[in-house]
Amino acid sequence: MTYRFAVNGEEVSLEVPGMRRLLDALREDLGLTGTKEGCGEGECGACSVLVDGEVVDSCLVPVSQVEGTSVMTVEGLAPAGGMDGLQQAFLERGGAQCGICTPGMLMAARAYIDSGGAPVDEDIREAIAGNLCRCTGYTKIIEAIAVAARGSADAR
Amino acid sequence: MPAEPPIESPSDLGQAYSLLASGDGWRPIAGGTDLMVQITGELSPPPDRVLDLWRLDELRGISLDGDVLVLGALTTYTDIRLSDLCREHLPALVEAAATIGAAQIQNRGTIGGNIVNASPAGDTLPVLLATDAEIVLGSATGERTVPAADFWIGYRQTARRPDELVVRVRIPVPGGRQVRFRKVGTRRAQAISKVVMALSWRPDAGVWRDVRVALGSIAATPVRAPETERVLEGAAPRSETADHAAVTIAGEISPIDDVRSTADYRRVVTARILHRLLREAGGW
């Protein structure tokens, strides 16, 4: 089967089995290795991407279910070579250590901010509850998301 | 790489029923949060053939039919959380949906999937038992309705025939009835229940009628606790009643030790949850 969908704004057409995990299609077929595989069973959120603006674990989504949708990965957050406000905030606040959770964390945060999420600690914690980080203790990640959410609210 | 069995993605329900009726072992997939974990083959054999339901928009949507809340099988936990109808008529279901996984799972996982996956730890299932919900099954030969109480017939076994799909769930939401939900897991998000409980009753002149106590993660299926229900039926939520009900439920259930918890812990916590829900309801 041929599956057509958009990835980071560009139309793609993939000739792959429909049960291929979106995660594998992104990494192996499209070479977008920013999306990481952690647990492979929906526990850790490392493979989080957006499908039509909603955050999902790409290890749990078969390609057949993204036909006709718009997928955004960490590579799509900012133009080549640049950073968006959220990435800048992670950099400035020290929101990343080893980095494996970071792409997924950024995508969950992006979904939160895009849906109008406020710079409120408790709400941010819930928004990233599906993303495990074993280094930072979360505090700096939450601060970074609050900074970006504040910036986004100011921009609106 | 995980297994990549053949998949069909019909765009109408009739096509889906035809495939299921072929007897070729098509395994339905909704949001994938349970089934996609199985394609690695580490937990159980991967399915031979997969029937993708995701494009069947006729299985989506939440509506009110008289005093019955009707949820299409593909209604996600996020849909439930955002639904004004659910919030107004069955906030306990909204609470249950909010405890399942986190945003990533809630955006894909569906109520129909929770019902058919038939995990004893399925968090919406005690709510369906406590509210006398009905599960509507469809096939090429028509629809039939099975009460939730008769749906989970053994460990991960249901009343669904292989040629049928769960198409919707009908939940009576009579005015005046109260429903409470409580889940205990290791953490607030991404945790599978150690114990999950739904309690419902109809207040009647200071006493409780039509009491339902439903539990998950303490037996091979979601279950009701009939002895405990009898203790509460016609009683008032006072502290002596709560003490009696807590002792009764601790004696009534037979939980097991497993990776998530122990039988002893589950028994104690089940009794405490019930006691606390009764205390909150009684306002003492």
User: Given this model, what pLDDT does residue B22 score?
Assistant: 94
Would you say the pTM of this structure is higher than 0.95? yes
Q: Binning pLDDT at 50, 70 and 90, where does residue B7 land?
A: very high
pLDDT of residue A79: 80
Strands A2-7 and A70-72, how do they pair? parallel
Residue B66 is predicted with a pLDDT of 97
Q: Is B256 on the interface with A (CB under 8 A)?
A: no
Nearest C-alpha of chain B: how many angstroms from A10? 23
Q: Decide the pairing of beta strands B157-158 and B152-154.
A: antiparallel
* The predicted structure's pLDDT at residue B43: 76
- Which of B39, B52, B104 lies closest to A65 in CB terms? B52
Q: Do A129 and B29 touch (CB under 8 A)?
A: no
| Chain A residues 63-82 with CB within 8 Å of chain B | 64-65, 67
Q: Which residue has the higher pLDDT, A81 or B75?
A: B75
Q: How far B240 CA lies from chain A's nearest CA (Å)?
A: 37
* Pairwise pLDDT comparison (A152 vs B176), residue with the higher score: B176
pLDDT at position B58 is 97
Predicted ipTM beyond 0.90? yes
| Residue-by-residue DSSP string for A83-122 | --HHHHHHHHHT--SS-TTHHHHHHHHHHHHHTT--S-HH
Answer yes or no: do B7 and A61 touch at CB < 8 A: no
Q: How far is B248 from B65, CA to CA, in rounded Å?
A: 37
Tens of pLDDT, residue by residue over B266-282, are 999 999 999 999 999 99
CB atoms within 10 A of CB B159: 15
Strands, E assignment, chain B = 7-8, 26-29, 49-52, 62-65, 68-72, 134-139, 142-147, 152-154, 157-158, 165-172, 178-184, 195-204, 207-216, 223-224
Residue A84: predicted pLDDT: 93
Helix, strand, coil percentages for chain B (3-state, nearest 5)? 35, 25, 40
Q: What is the pLDDT of residues B154-210, one digit of tens each?
A: 999 999 999 999 999 999 999 999 999 999 998 888 889 999 999 999 999 999 999
Kindly report the average pLDDT of chain B as a whole number: 96
CB of A20 within 8 Å of a chain B CB? The answer is yes
> Mean pLDDT over residues B134-162, rounded?
98
- What pLDDT sits at residue A80? 81
Per-residue pLDDT tens digits for A30-68: 999 999 999 999 999 999 999 999 999 999 999 999 999
Burial track B191-211 (b if 16+ CB lie within 10 A, e otherwise): bbbbbbbbbbbeeeeebbeeb
Please identify which residue in the block is written with the tokens 């009835």.
Answer: B177
**pLDDT tens-place string over residues A65-105:** 999 999 999 999 998 889 999 999 999 999 999 999 999 99
The pLDDT assigned to A81 comes to 83
Question: Considering only CB atoms, which chain A residues are within 8 Å of B5?
Answer: 19
Query: How distant is the Cα of B98 from the closest Cα of chain A, in angstroms?
Result: 10
Cβ neighbors of A154 (< 8 A, separation 6 or more) are: none
- The phi, psi pair for A78, rounded to 5°, reads -140, 155
Contacts of B188 in chain A (CB under 8 A): 129
Under an 8 A CB cutoff, do A62 and B32 touch? yes
- Over residues A6-22, the pLDDT tens digits come to 999 999 999 999 999 99
Beta-ladder partners of B152: B158
From chain A residues 95-134, the ones with a CB under 8 A of any chain B CB are: 108, 111-112, 126-132
Q: Is the pLDDT of residue B86 over 90?
A: yes
Across B238-245, average pLDDT: 97
Examine the pLDDT at B148 and tell me if it is beyond 90.
Answer: yes
Residue pairs between chains A and B whose CB atoms are closer than 8 Å = 99
B188 touches chain A (CB under 8 A): yes
Average pLDDT over residues B32-39: 93
* Two tokens, residue B183: 């889940």
Percent of chain A with pLDDT over 70: 100
* pLDDT score recorded for residue A153: 80
Measured torsion, CA atoms of residues B190, B49, B39, B127, in degrees rounded to the nearest 10: 20
B132's CB contacts (< 8 A; 6+ apart) are B147, B148, B149, B172, B212
Q: What percent of chain B has pLDDT over 70?
A: 100
pLDDT at A47 (0 to 100): 98
Across A16-154, the runs of DSSP E, i.e. the strands, are: 48-51, 54-57, 70-72
Sheet holding A10-15, edge to edge: A10-15, A2-7, A70-72, A48-51, A54-57
